[in-house]
Amino acid sequence: MAQCALHADVDALGTCDRCGRFACGVCLQPRTTERFCPECAERMELRLAASGRAQLTLVLSLMSLNCLVFLVPIALTLALIERQAIARGEAPEGGRSWINASLALCAVATGLWSLVGCLMLTSSV
C-alpha cells in the first residue's frame, strides 16, 4: 500500500486531485468535489481569495456613491489594472467578482452624479 507523502509511516487514503501525491486521511482535505493535499489546498485558497487591490477597488467605488465622485477614476483605473493582472495570472482569480462589482458601481456612480449635475444645471436656469 502507498504511504502518505508527508507522513511516511501512515498508509495513504487517496491522492491529491491536483498534483497526484498520496495523502493520508489527516492530509487529504476535501474542497468542493475535489480532494487536495495540504500544499495544493493552500494554493487553491490563495487563488480563490481576492487581492488587497481588488478589495480596495470595491471600497473606493462604494465610497464614490457617497458624494466622493472624484474616486470614480481612481477606482476604475485600479479595477482595470487588477483585471489585467488576473488575466496574466499575477493576481488571484477570486478578485474577478470584486472587480466586476467595482466596475458596475463606477458606472452607477458616474450615471448618478451626471444626473445630479444635470438637475442642478436645469434648476439654476
Q: Residue 100: what pLDDT?
A: 92
In this predicted model, what pLDDT tens digit does every residue of 92-107 receive, in sequence order? 888 888 999 999 998 8
CA distances from 15 to 9, 33, 122 (A): 16, 14, 68
Over the chain, what is the mean pLDDT? 83
pLDDT at residue 6 greater than cutoff 70: yes
Confidence of residue 78 (pLDDT cuts 50, 70, 90): very high
Report the predicted TM-score, pTM, of the whole model to 2 decimal places: 0.58
In this predicted model, what pLDDT tens digit does every residue of 13-55 receive, in sequence order? 888 888 888 888 888 877 667 788 888 777 776 666 788 888 8
Q: Residue 94: what pLDDT?
A: 83
What is the CA angle 21-23-28, rounded to 5?
110
Distance CA 93, CA 89 (A): 8
Confidence of residue 72 (pLDDT cuts 50, 70, 90): confident
* 3-state SS assignment for residue 29: strand
What is the CA angle 120-68-98, rounded to 5?
125
* 3-state SS assignment for residue 93: coil
Mean pLDDT value of segment 47-71? 83
Say how many C-beta atoms besides its own lie within 10 A of residue 102's C-beta.
28
Amino acid in the structure at residue 8: A
Q: Residue 118: what pLDDT?
A: 76
